[in-house]
Chain A
Amino acid sequence: MGDFWRRFFDSDLWWSFKSSPLVVIAFSITVIIVFSSIFATFVAPYNPFDLAQFDLMDSLKPPAWMEGGTSQFFLGTDDQGRDVLSTILYGSRVSLLVGFMSVFFAMVIGIIVGLIAGYSGGWVDALLMRIADVQLSFPAILIALLVDGIVRGLLPKGSHDDLAVYVLIVAIALSFWVQYARTVRSSTMIERTKEYVQAAQVIGLPQPLILFRHILPNVMGPVLVIATIQLALAVITEATLSFLGVGVPPTSPSLGTLIRVGNDYLFSGEWWITVFPGAALVILVLAVNILGDWLRDALNPKLR
């Protein structure tokens, strides 16, 4: 173990991490957000998912430093009387889970399909890419309705609530993978013609090894760009789907749902319901993207 850490601290990765303050800040923020949402139960002042804990009469209180605000609710309360700060913490948990999981699955599916299609060419490529075309024609909303409908049909009544989050992850992953697949495919088609791949073929390396060991690292650049950006998109998509009754119920709101609900109060002056969750999302996405940029540059064999 000690050996591992020594090697880690000696590595280029650690050095490039240490030397960029922006990356260090981004990393800290990401860690703070992730941890405080995982441990929301201990960090948050209230439990906004427990319906008995808040009162309608406390609704729409402004943040503590504004006129009419109380120190009881530091970032104010929403339309139901829930503490906005607690709701952001609890809500981030759902949003982060859905965001990271769905982007991860989309990426895995997309990369595998893209590598195979780009490397094989011919009818395999044609088939996979036409499946991708079919997929592209359906917006996430419809896919979610389909997945939800099928899940509900297959499973007994009542089990729906526990599954809502997984339905969301599957639906979003299913509607996001094509971007990766087509990008990886196009890069793979270029890499395939290069000497190092031909050399690997000549010495008879097995195909999976060539694909994942040799080609994959060279096509990851655009993939990471898309992934970091899609994280934000996934969180927002999740909010849209919740509106359709597919996602998490409004009584346990996610970050995206909070932003969507707060949208109703933009004109009426209760800006804190949207702006704080919105800011939380912006900060998270910024941090993840800065980390993503750094990681990509630091790991890229071509840039060393």
Chain B
Amino acid sequence: MFLFLARRLFQAAMVMLTVALIAFALFQYVGDPVANMVGQDTSVADREKLKQDLGLNDPIIVQFGHFVQNASKGEFGQSYRLRKPVKELIAERFPATLELSIISAILALLVGIPMGVYTALHPKSWVSQGFMTLSLIGISLPTFLIGIFLILFFGVILQWLPTFGRGEVVDLGWWTTGFLSKSGWQSLIMPAITLAIFQMTLIVRLIRAEMLEVLRSDYIKFARARGLHERSISFSHALKNTLVPVITIIGLQIGSLIAFAIITESVFQWPGMGLLFIQAIEEVDIPIMSAYLLLIALVFVIINLLVDILYYSIDPRLRMN
């Protein structure tokens, strides 16, 4: 186990180095960072000087070297646009994103798993057909349309829910949370639903597809023959055996929830990392982009490590090796 973890740790470091290298190769195509840092009247010479001072004229490999050197000391530079250390900015924004992704993931699982199991057990019923169709509408509408429709209906017409932001936030010193105030929860509802809809569709359909197969496999037939209770068969045997692909996808989805809830966060002006990131792309805020991509690489490495470990604890067939 120790060897396994050590190996994965080394691999993680390589992944992050590669991500940083690609990131720096990419930044030259994103636009001119200086144009956003100065006023329209600023002279060409002053712009050029600023570029020089920021080291943006150095070859990519040199910029990459500086970045890695500083990053290894835990130093990620300062945001060009917000003029604040990137570390602080990410620490400020991370709680908002994590709370949103956790709630929407829970929502998606709580609704998606039962729906998936039901549609697999009763594939021909009209309710199942309804579930399947409905779930598709959720993904074929673009996220920003869903978000804006929710805002229009619950925010503007009914005026039940706040339309933007995170509500009242309680600062615990190391973490800011919206879970401790009423307006915090209210603000969370619409973005969480918007994010959950997409995840849900995927979960419902994957579980249904996998369960349909497993239910007809030999060992379920054996279980039936042994006279096991039908519910126990569906949940403890069948569902458990469908979980490997489902967990793989859920892992990836949670990763992208944390990383790229960009559209949802901008529609609801949710002060999380997705919003920070999309604005960094638009304004060519290279320090934020590079630190952020590195963080995302870390998130995916960790999630995929957890998923790989989970495989072995869930699927008895894999344990045999």
CB distance from B127 to the nearest CB of A (A): 15
CA gap between A29 and B73 in the complex, in Å: 59
Asked whether B233 is an interface residue with its Cβ less than 8 Å from the other chain, the reply is: no
Bound complex: CA of A257 vs CA of B251, how far in Å?
Answer: 30
Other-chain contact of A186, B143, B216, B311 (Cβ < 8 Å): B311
Q: Within the assembled complex, what's the spacing in Å between the Cα atoms of A130 and B202?
A: 24
Contacts of B245 in A (CB 8 A): 183, 186-187, 221-222
Interface flags for B169-206 (1: CB within 8 Å of A; 0: not) read 00000000000000000000000000000000110011
Report the bound CA distance from A290 to B142 in whole Å. Answer: 19
Interface residues of B in 210-242 (CB under 8 A from A): 210, 212-213, 216-217
B315 at the interface (CB under 8 A from A): yes
- The residues of A that contact B205 with a CB separation of less than 8 Å are 225, 229, 293
Contact (Cβ within 8 A) A138 B22: yes
Complexed CA–CA distance, A285 and B19 (Å): 34
A136 near B14 with CB under 8 A, answer no
Contact (A183, B139) CB under 8 Å given A134-B15, A274-B145, A303-B213: no
Inside 8 A of A284's CB, which chain B residues have their CB? 140
Interface check A66, CB cutoff 8 A: no
The A interface, classified by DSSP as helix, strand, loop or mixed, is helix
Asked if residues B132 and A145 are in contact (CB atoms below 8 Å), the reply is: no
Is the pair B148, A222 in contact by a Cβ cutoff of 8 Å?
Answer: no
Other-chain contact of A285, B29, B140, B249 (Cβ < 8 Å): B140
Chain A stretch 290-304: residues in CB contact (< 8 A) with chain B: 293, 296-297, 300, 302-303
Known A189-B311, A286-B137, A286-B140; judge A221-B210 contact (CB<8 A): yes
Partner of A149, one of B26, B143, B209, B210: B26
* Chain A 36-63 near chain B by CB (<8 Å), digits 1 or 0: 0000000000000000000000000000
Question: In the complex the two chains form, what is the Cα distance from A12 to B130 in whole Å?
Answer: 26
Q: Are A226 and B249 in contact (CB under 8 A)?
A: yes
| Residue from B25, B141, B307 having most chain A Cβ neighbours under 10 A | B141
| B113 contacts the other chain (CB 8 A) | no
Bitwise, B24-62 to A at CB < 8 A (1) or not (0) is 011011100000000000000000000000000000000
For B149, the closest partner residue in chain A by CB is A266
Q: Which residues of B contact A22 (CB under 8 A)?
A: 129
Q: In this complex, which of A133, A256, A274, A300 has the most chain B Cβ atoms within 10 angstroms of its Cβ?
A: A133
Bound Cα distance A132, B15 (Å): 9
B211 smallest CB distance to A (angstroms): 10
Task: Identify B142's interface contact among A129, A146, A222, A239, CB under 8 A.
Answer: A239
Contact of B137 among A149, A239, A282 (CB under 8 A): A282
A148: chain B residues within 8 A (beta carbon):
29
B304 within 8 A of A: yes
* A221 in complex: contacting residue of B28, B139, B209, B307, CB < 8 Å: B209
Question: How many residues of A are in contact with the other chain, CB < 8 A?
Answer: 59
Is the pair B318, A293 in contact by a Cβ cutoff of 8 Å?
A: no
The answer to whether residues A126 and B142 also contact, given A145-B29, A148-B29, A190-B318 and a CB cut-off of 8 A, is no
Q: A120-131 toward B: CB 8 Å interface, digit per residue (1/0)?
A: 000000100110
Contact between chains at B140 and A232 (CB < 8 Å) = yes
A241 CB within 8 Å of chain B: no
Q: Mark A218-230, 1 if CB is under 8 A from B, else 0.
A: 0001101110010
Cross-chain contact B202 with A225 (CB below 8 angstroms): yes
Is A98 close to B, CB under 8 A?
Answer: no
**Which of B132, B206, B256, B260 touches A222 (beta carbons < 8 Å)?**
B206
The answer to whether B139 and A149 touch across the interface, beta carbons within 8 angstroms, is: no
Interface hits, A254-304 → B, CB 8 Å? 256, 259-260, 263, 266-267, 274, 278, 281-282, 284-286, 289, 293, 296-297, 300, 302-303
Per the 8 Å Cβ criterion, residues 286-315 of B in contact with A are: 293, 296-297, 300-301, 304, 307, 311, 315
Q: Which chain A residue has the least Cβ–Cβ distance from B301?
A: A133
With CB as the reference atom, state the residue of chain A lying closest to B292: A137
Pick from A130, A141, A222, A289: contact of B136, CB under 8 Å: A289
Contact check, B249 vs A137: say whether CB atoms are below 8 A apart. no
Cα of A286 to Cα of B141 in the assembled complex, Å: 11
Do B304 and A129 have beta carbons less than 8 Å apart?
yes
A142 pairs with B139, CB closer than 8 A: no
Knowing A134-B22, A225-B209, A302-B217 are in contact, say whether A193-B320 is a contact too (CB < 8 A): yes
Given contacts A139-B259, A141-B281, A193-B321, contact A222 B209 (CB under 8 A): yes
- Which residues in A have their C-beta under 8 angstroms from that of B217? 302
- Whether B281 contacts A142 by the Cβ 8 Å rule is yes
Residues of A within 8 A of B293 (CB): 137-138, 142
* 18 A-B contact pairs sorted by A residue (CB < 8 Å): A129-B304, A133-B304, A136-B297, A137-B19, A137-B259, A138-B19, A145-B29, A149-B28, A178-B252, A179-B252, A183-B245, A183-B248, A190-B244, A194-B317, A221-B210, A229-B139, A285-B136, A285-B140
Please give me the 3 A-B residue pairs with the lowest Cβ-Cβ distance, nearest first. Answer: A149-B29, A285-B140, A137-B297
